[in-house]
Amino acid sequence: MNNKLKIGIIGLGTVGQGVYKVLKNFDDIEIVSCAVKNLNKKREVEVNNLTDDVMSIAKNPDVDVVVEVAGGIGVFDALKEAIKNGKHIVTANKELLARHGAELFDLAKKYNTAILYEAAVAGGIPIILPIKTSLAANKFSKVAGILNGTTNYILTKMEEENLSYEDCLAKAQKLGYAETDPTGDVEGFDAMYKIAILANIVFDKRIDVNKIYREGITKISAQDIKIADELGYKIKLIAQAKTFNDDENTLDIRVHPMLVDKNNSISDIRNATNAVMLNGFPVDKVMFVGPGAGEFPTASSVVGDILAIKAENHRKDDVLPMMGCKHESYANQISIEETKNCYYLRIKADNTPGEIGKIGTACGEYKINLSCIIQRELDTKGDATIIVITEKCLEKDMNSMITSIEKDSKTKVLNKIRVM
């Protein structure tokens, strides 16, 4: 009984309650205290040792491991205090790690404590430990994937049920996949935090989350989904980080919708499922697929981290050294303007002779080669819809071309989506 690992939990929402339920199956783990915002809120679990004082857990001498599943950056000071008091940290907090991970890991190194965060990136998918252990021999050139289940669910329903973005968002909110304020998911913030963490691990560099290009799915229409399908693509919100021009110190990190070829296995990822793809040598390509969120999938990763600490907690030296942060330098992150991509454009123009020619001429002026250009049916106002797929070109050249054709007040690029 004296060998029990003693836990303090911060946050008893969906994930926190899942962790609580799972930990109750372990006789050698004791939950000492749980910190919540509202002591009177009704919960699925009955907890006698509740507190609304987060710092009391951080300072409690009986707590060995602080499990933080509250989310947000408001717990930053409490986690710093916990580390200073010699406590290990298990967290699912992607925003905190993406924005303040460097300071937390430096502090953990100073006080010889471990920070584990398998649940912060892809819920129930084991990805961080495999990268640090089984795949440690690899030199990676790219990590990419579907890292947000809410947006993938919305895009799936738009495709399968031919519904608008607004209708599918409402459906996701009704089922609990999306928050009342869905901004963090649909505008790409959640995926941005996760790709920052993955890039940090894969490329062994610190990442400035403020330099990551981010674009959400709110501009994607049912028409875009339908046209993409006819052209052999599906639209997914892709988070990716890759080396730029083979320079391992310079990274291209971004989150935005992409047209994904139907032959690419990631195009088959449906609903709230997540997927992470890695390109490296000598492994070549591997993909991890599974539930990216939810009570028990996320609890699975959190409790796995707790058990890893328990197995090593007897050590007086560095606990779980493989999981520590050993890098101190920041990656050189390029601007989206300097990247090269293929593009899908949906353009509204007058239904008059020569419109396609004008677009072709503008593309030629900015050295943009066309892969295909199609005029579709007229809309209800009699305007033409023109679809363009380009070969690879610089983002800044594409933006200049769009500015050029939009000088004609009757021509408007309604959507620009990069092609994977």
- Per-residue tens of pLDDT for the chain, all 420 residues: 468 999 999 999 999 999 999 999 999 999 999 999 999 999 999 998 999 999 999 999 999 999 999 999 999 999 999 999 999 999 999 999 999 999 999 999 999 999 999 999 998 999 999 999 999 999 999 999 999 999 999 999 999 999 999 999 999 999 888 999 999 999 999 999 999 999 999 999 999 999 999 999 999 999 999 999 999 999 999 999 999 988 888 999 999 999 999 999 999 999 999 999 999 999 999 999 999 888 999 999 999 999 999 998 777 667 777 777 777 899 999 999 999 999 999 999 998 888 899 999 999 999 999 999 999 888 878 889 999 999 999 999 999 999 999 998 789 999 999 999
For 29, the token pair is: 């783990």
**Which DSSP symbol is given to 315?**
-
CATH of domain 340-419: 3.30.70.260
Nearest to 90 by CA among 65, 107, 113: 65
Q: How far apart are the first and last CA of the chain?
A: 55
Note whether 344 and 257 are within 8 A (CB).
Answer: no
State how far the Cα of 302 lies from the Cα of 91, in Å rounded to an integer.
7
State how far the Cα of 62 lies from the Cα of 21, in Å rounded to an integer.
21
State how far the Cα of 214 lies from the Cα of 235, in Å rounded to an integer.
16
Note whether 292 and 164 are within 8 A (CB).
Answer: no
Query: Which three-class secondary structure state does DSSP give residue 183?
Result: helix
Positions of CATH 3.30.360.10 in the chain: 128-293
Q: Which CATH superfamily is domain 128-293 in?
A: Dihydrodipicolinate Reductase; domain 2 (3.30.360.10)
Q: H or E element: which one contains 22? A: helix 14-23
State the fold for domain 5-123+295-328: Rossmann fold (3.40.50)
State how far the Cα of 115 lies from the Cα of 108, in Å rounded to an integer.
7
Task: Give me the active site residues, please.
Answer: 194
Burial category of 75 from C-beta neighbours within 10 Å (exposed 0-12, middle 13-18, buried 19 and up): buried
Q: What is the pTM of this model?
A: 0.95
State how far the Cα of 249 lies from the Cα of 158, in Å rounded to an integer.
39
